[in-house]
Amino acid sequence: MLGIRRKPALTLPARMPSAGGYVIAVLIFVFGLYILYPVVLIFINSFNGATLIREPFTFTFENWRAAFTEPGISEVIRNTFFIYFLYTVISFPIAIGIAWLLARTRMRFSYGLEFMFWVSFMMPTIATTIGWTYLLDPNVGLINRIVSWLPFVDKGPFNIYSIPGIVWAHLMANAVSQKVMLLTPAFRNMNVALEEAARVSGASNWRTMLRVTLPVMIPAMTVVFMLNVVRVFQSFELEQILGRPIGFYVYSTKIFQFVRDFEPPRYGSATALASLTLIIIAVAIPLQRWLLSRRQYTTVTGQFKPGLIDLGKWQPAAWAAVAALAALLTIVPILTLLGGSFMTRVGWFNVTPVFTLRHWTEVLGDRYFMQALRTTITLSLTTAILSPVLFSMVAYVLVRTRWRGRVILDSLFWMSASIPGMLAGLGLLWAFLRTPFLTPLFGTIYALLLVVILQGKLTSTQLIKGAFLQLGGDLEEASRVSGAGWLRTYFRIWLPLLMPTLVLIGTINFVLSAQATASIILIASRDTTTLSILALEKMTHADGILLEQAGIVSLFIVGMTVVVALAARRFGLRIGVSHEMRESRAGERRGAETAAAATAQTGIR
């Protein structure tokens, strides 16, 4: 019997990773190293019994034992959640009411008032805090001094250095303005037909808001609330200025105290405290994703009908309330800082002279101030230029490619948003001092640049992803058909079309870099001190004699951010796709076509 010879099975060569696979791998490695490596170091070194960072690692549970048994640390965690609970319970209803008034009622200058809350959000926390300290300091606060002039009043009733004072400072910083920014667009996208149906049924405007508008907006409010949950541990400057004089510490200020105020530094206690918050964050992130996935968020459908509510006689009072709050958030602290900077001592009107230029002369003549100003400008401008280009390329990979690993890269960015600035700063401190090739960078401006450029990665990539999704892929296809490579297509097609968004991102990152404190304070040296760190140092001076100088330094931060924001806004309006130019060119083409047709008809005749 003859056997049938079979051909050997065809073996395919092993499939090599594509170029896109290598690009994704590099991006995940780089950003993962920046995001995860410091966090892993914190957790590992929470078991390190070494007194100094450069000492050899010795395994021990002593740091964790201290974290669970030392009364101070448990009190710090309670303080952190207590302050967050107080200002959230107060700010959330206020923000909901303001967003409803701006978006759902016929309020005059509603967009201008909304922009004031944007300005409040962009103002540095340290500047707002110092401004309200000028007003509410128990000894020299302007409001307390004025109240003390009243009959039968010996001392002003307000004290910014207290738990109510800290909560008030949070409300005046960005606790209200941030929520208004996020909720107002969602309220504008609500279908007015739902409210009209309630009013036809006999419900008043107040009852309609409680029974219809707010229940419909619960998904959007849930999103805003959960986005703020992961920010429990973010605050630093405010509690450092107002809490430290009364011995009130929260998570971030206690870590800073362990690292900077003890000799030798208590790195073990700091890392154990940081590790405790890592556990809390690990629980909060899945909880957030679970809550956000349980509801639908559709507020605009094919039957969408816009419209506004008329509050009648209550409209002027509502407008006055919103305008007054917007002024408290923006105009009052800036004017207070400016006026107080010219006083010999803030709040003292019985000294001679009352007003002086001495504080401005001392600040402008201080070499550390000029050095901090140069460092801040360098950091902010470099970040504003590099971050849009870097994150636009990352956003292109996330939106325009189908490379494997994109979900992992996107998840890394989202996870980084939940890591508090002080936690990231401590992790980076360990990374720079325990990693040989990073150690030479410690304390240099290059280390600070690495931190501030990457701190705006989530916001930047998400905004550019939205812009990419609005642009058709046929533009890139036409460029590729014409023979252009990826880089040429990016710089000749995508970059001009994305320019307005990139200008916005550059502005946001400039502001974030100028305000950065918690994320860089542990890795900055005296030679790389920024304006925000310098203002914090002057504000927390032991003798309290540098209060006016701290206000002047914070005014420079405000001035820098405002000037750059206005310049970027004006520049952004002049670039990008111009509808007037396009319409003009279309008219010229139509005119040329009409003239050609008339000439042709004349020739035929």
Most confidently modeled range among 58-72, 397-411, 509-523: 509-523
Instruction: Please give the pLDDT value at position 217.
Output: 66
- Compute the mean pLDDT over every residue in the chain, rounded to the nearest whole number: 75
For residues 502-511, average pLDDT:
82
* 453 against 280, higher pLDDT: 453
- pLDDT at residue 167 above 90? yes
- pLDDT at residue 604 above 50? no
* Contact present, 325 and 91 (Cβ < 8 Å): no
Most confidently modeled range among 46-55, 161-170, 335-344, 469-478: 161-170
- In terms of C-beta density within 10 A (0-12 exposed, 13-18 middle, 19 or more buried), how is residue 455 classed? buried
Instruction: Please give the pLDDT value at position 571.
Output: 67
Q: What CA–CA distance (Å, rounded) separates 143 from 136?
A: 6
Instruction: Please give the pLDDT value at position 492.
Output: 73
Collapsing DSSP to helix, strand or coil, 53 comes out as coil
Instruction: Please give the pLDDT value at position 162.
Output: 92
Is the Cα torsion angle 34, 37, 40, 41 positive or negative in sign?
negative
Q: What CA–CA distance (Å, rounded) separates 51 from 30?
A: 30
Lowest mean pLDDT among 91-95, 116-120, 376-380: 116-120
Percent of the chain having pLDDT more than 90? 7
- pLDDT at residue 297 above 90? no
Lowest mean pLDDT among 58-67, 95-104, 426-435: 58-67
**pLDDT tens for residues 319-328?**
999 999 999 9
Closest CA to 278 of 149, 68, 424: 424
Domain range list for the chain: 367-591
- pLDDT at residue 589 above 60? no
Instruction: Please give the pLDDT value at position 273.
Output: 73
Assigned token pair, 374: 């140069």
Instruction: Please give the pLDDT value at position 449.
Output: 87
Instruction: Please give the pLDDT value at position 164.
Output: 92
**pLDDT tens for residues 248-290?**
988 888 888 877 777 767 777 777 777 766 666 666 656 655 6
Collapsing DSSP to helix, strand or coil, 240 comes out as helix
The tokens 């642009």 sit on which residue? 471
Instruction: Please give the pLDDT value at position 203.
Output: 62
* Contact present, 379 and 393 (Cβ < 8 Å): no
C-alpha distances out from residue 23 to 34, 403, 406, 495, Å? 17, 9, 10, 20
* 471 against 149, higher pLDDT: 149
**pLDDT tens for residues 9-33?**
444 344 444 566 777 888 888 888 8
**pLDDT tens for residues 342-401?**
888 877 777 778 788 888 998 888 888 899 999 999 999 998 888 888 888 888 888 777
Task: Please list, in sequence order, all residues whose beta carbon lies within 8 angstroms of the beta carbon of residue 291, skipping any fewer than 6 positions away.
Answer: 222, 226
Asked if CATH classification 1.10.3720.10 holds for the domain at 367-591, the reply, yes or no, is yes
* 76 against 496, higher pLDDT: 76
Q: What CA–CA distance (Å, rounded) separates 421 from 368?
A: 24
Assigned token pair, 239: 């509690």
- pLDDT at residue 90 above 90? yes
Confidence class of residue 94 from pLDDT cuts 50, 70 and 90?
very high
Name the DSSP letter for residue 513: H
Contacts 24+ apart (CB under 8 A), 334-339: 334/123, 334/127, 334/131, 334/555, 334/558, 336/131, 336/132, 336/134, 336/135, 336/142, 337/127, 337/130, 337/131, 337/134, 337/551, 337/552, 337/554, 337/555, 337/558, 338/555
- pLDDT at residue 428 above 90? no
- pLDDT at residue 472 above 70? no
**pLDDT tens for residues 176-233?**
988 887 778 777 766 565 665 656 566 666 666 666 666 766 666 776 776 676 667 7
Instruction: Please give the pLDDT value at position 588.
Output: 43
